[in-house]
């Protein structure tokens, strides 16, 4: 047992040495991202563990839910509501890692959570600062966010550690297995998890192969949602009513890789149509201006959601809407006749098609649905 303890300490020591060497590169990354989007500058204090004073707890008992990005936040909506109902006297804090995830969490969970913040980078000093502030009794991590220092420090505080909606994609599995053989930190980190709820039995076996010890099948949280139709007073609804199109086509969560830019494909396809209203929805906020530039270059009349008023201006509306907003798309699927889901022509593993399917809409995807194979089936 002593030998195992020494080995574990050695593994974590090596990890921290590597982290110290990588710190300049991490800071340079945030500097570069901050030059393009000031949101990254504003996120830095929280990423290094400095939370608002109002988050500080005087005693243990809080719940910390981490959902890395927009997709994970949306998947955890009903789960978070369930935790709030089950533990009404426990403060609930939600962390994300991306700007889109943060915006979605504030919009969708702002009335449920006691605070939303950017998760700390996986450095001991940052993680400890957050744990001292929140004093959680339980830390819940969604899907496949495996952070060795976070997991170890949570265990040191005596708090419970759980992973929910656990999944490992076909593409990621060989990388994880290879990493685990070369550097056993992954296995050590997963062994620290008190409860891991995998989406399927296949996912359960994958986590066991990677070193997790307490794994059960909990189902897919993405199935736990209610379809909420957009309000009739929504500016988007009123725009479509004024346009009176023959059909409405939503191109959702479009992305790009080195081989294909889905926005280019969508624009080219729409130009061959007649009387079809296109709602173009880039996946990431940093692409909003890029896609607007593509529409301008193509000479296509369009309107941005951010510049759309509820009353309209009385002019004949264009047949293209660039939805440059966060968290609004789910309720708009009910307006569509057909939905193309992005991340499927570009090799991005796909996105969740359950919401448009629940509205009974025809759904088009490309060949890449690896991250949602069960949903696609």
The catalytic site residues sit at 72
Q: CA distances (Å), 116 to each of 61, 99, 227, in order?
A: 17, 12, 24
Cα 243 from Cα 316, distance rounded (Å): 7
Q: Which two tokens stand for residue 38?
A: 């000031």
Q: Which helix (H) or strand (E) holds 192?
A: none
State how far the Cα of 86 lies from the Cα of 112, in Å rounded to an integer. Answer: 12
Q: How many CA atoms lie within 13 A of 158 on its CB side?
A: 4
Residue with tokens 């909506």: 77
On the 0-12 / 13-18 / 19+ scale of CB atoms within 10 A, 279 is buried
Is residue 31 within 8 Å of residue 38, measured between CB atoms? no
Contacts with 226 (C-beta within 8 Å, 6 or more apart), sequence order: 78
Spatial distance between the Cα atoms of 117 and 106, rounded to a whole number of angstroms: 9
Q: CA–CA separation, 290 vs 285, rounded Å?
A: 10
CA 95 and chain centroid, separation: 11
Q: Quote the CA–CA distance of 290 and 304 in Å, as a whole number.
A: 13
Q: How far apart are CA 112 and CA 18, in angstroms?
A: 38
DSSP state, residue 75: H
């Amino acid at each position: 047992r002593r030998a195992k303890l020494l080995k574990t300490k050695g593994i974590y020591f090596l990890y921290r040495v590597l982290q110290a060497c990588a710190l300049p590169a991490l800071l340079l990354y945030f500097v570069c991202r901050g030059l393009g989007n000031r949101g990254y500058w504003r996120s830095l204090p929280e990423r290094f563990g400095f939370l608002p004073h109002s988050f500080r707890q005087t005693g243990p008992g809080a719940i910390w839910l981490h959902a890395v990005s927009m997709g994970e936040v949306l998947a955890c909506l009903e789960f978070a509501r369930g935790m709030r109902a089950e533990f009404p006297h426990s403060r609930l804090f939600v962390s994300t890692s991306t700007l889109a995830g943060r915006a979605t969490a504030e919009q969708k969970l702002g009335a449920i959570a006691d605070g939303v913040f950017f998760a700390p980078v996986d450095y001991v000093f940052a993680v400890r600062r957050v744990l001292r502030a929140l004093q959680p009794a339980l830390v819940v991590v969604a899907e496949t966010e495996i952070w060795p220092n976070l997991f170890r420090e949570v265990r040191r505080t005596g708090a419970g550690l759980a992973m929910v909606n656990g999944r490992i994609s076909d593409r990621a599995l060989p990388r994880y297995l290879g990493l685990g053989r070369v550097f056993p930190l992954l296995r050590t980190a997963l062994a620290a998890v008190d409860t891991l709820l995998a989406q399927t039995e296949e996912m359960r076996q994958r986590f066991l192969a990677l070193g997790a010890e307490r794994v059960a099948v909990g189902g897919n949280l993405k199935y736990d949602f209610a379809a909420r139709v957009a309000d009739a007073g929504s500016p988007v609804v009123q725009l479509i009513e004024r346009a009176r199109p023959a059909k409405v086509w939503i191109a959702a969560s479009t992305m790009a890789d080195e081989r294909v830019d889905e926005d280019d494909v969508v624009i080219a396809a729409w130009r061959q149509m007649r009387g079809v209203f296109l709602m173009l929805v880039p996946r990431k906020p940093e692409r909003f201006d890029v896609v607007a530039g593509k529409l301008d270059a193509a000479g296509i009349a369009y309107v941005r959601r951010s510049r759309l008023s509820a009353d309209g201006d009385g002019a004949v509306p264009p047949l293209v809407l660039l939805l440059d907003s966060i968290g609004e798309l789910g309720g708009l699927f009910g307006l569509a006749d057909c939905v193309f889901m992005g991340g499927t022509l570009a090799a991005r593993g796909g996105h969740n098609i359950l919401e448009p399917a629940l509205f009974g809409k025809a759904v088009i995807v490309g060949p890449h649905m690896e991250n949602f194979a069960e949903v696609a089936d």
